[in-house]
Chain A
């Protein structure tokens, strides 16, 4: 399985500022995703990071708030813009790999964000 790292592992930010989270994979992967896990909640998919094109966002998430870059097949960034306390969450990067006969997702360690 792919090994995924994220930076930073945690941060405390002031409201109104922005934070960029980096996701690095040790191998080339086609599919990369960004999830949010709010305190005490399950995971919610934010968007699919597409290499060479704009990310595909899920309902309730917009590019202006969560711009995503995917410059190559091993790296992606998620920016949380104009933060408010409601953005305090764990943000997780994941990659999808087809391992016959099924498709699997592997997750990074997450970035714990606290907005004050």
Chain B
């Protein structure tokens, strides 16, 4: 069975400080892992993905995530938060290439304080 747990439903950071959004997964197979961002009243945008290549994955807008198999984690980080980063972030796992079985986490709402 596969599942995704986002440990924080809400994270609040000050502008210019680091961002950490936590994600743990459970999978019987080698997973592909994704982070999506959803800005208010907008669709989902793919931030980055892990597909069994490099464990440190760089995405758009300065975000990156590190796949740690021993910890079954795929935390999203950014060195310095911008106001425009305020959004909902979803950690997603897929266990079969070419399949539609994406499993979404419950989401983490990021607030950036000026």
Residues of chain A contacted by B77 (CB below 8 angstroms): none
Q: Which residues 33-50 of B have a CB within 8 angstroms of A?
A: 34, 36, 41-46, 49
B13-52 contact mask (Cβ, 8 Å, vs A): 1 or 0 = 0000000000000000000101010000111111001011
Alpha-carbon distance between A90 and B60 when the two chains are bound, in angstroms: 25
Interface residues of A (CB under 8 A from B): 1, 4, 31, 33, 41-45, 48, 92, 94, 96, 98, 101-110, 112
Interface of B is mostly: loop
Indicate if the CB atoms of B90 and A101 lie closer than 8 Å. no
Indicate if the CB atoms of B102 and A105 lie closer than 8 Å. yes
Residues of chain A contacted by B52 (CB below 8 angstroms): 101
Residues of chain A contacted by B34 (CB below 8 angstroms): 104
With known contacts A96-B100, A98-B98, A101-B51, A43–B46 Cβ distance under 8 A:
no
Residue of A with least CB distance to B50: A102
Give the interface segment out of B65-73, B78-86, B103-111. B103-111
Query: Which single member of A42, A102, A103, A104 contacts B106 (CB below 8 Å)?
Result: A42
Residue of A with least CB distance to B96: A103
Residue of B with least CB distance to A101: B51
Indicate if the CB atoms of A103 and B90 lie closer than 8 Å. no
Indicate if the CB atoms of B53 and A42 lie closer than 8 Å. no
Residues of chain B contacted by A108 (CB below 8 angstroms): 43
Complex A-B, nearest 4 residue pairs according to Cβ-Cβ distance, in ascending order: A102-B51, A107-B44, A109-B43, A42-B104
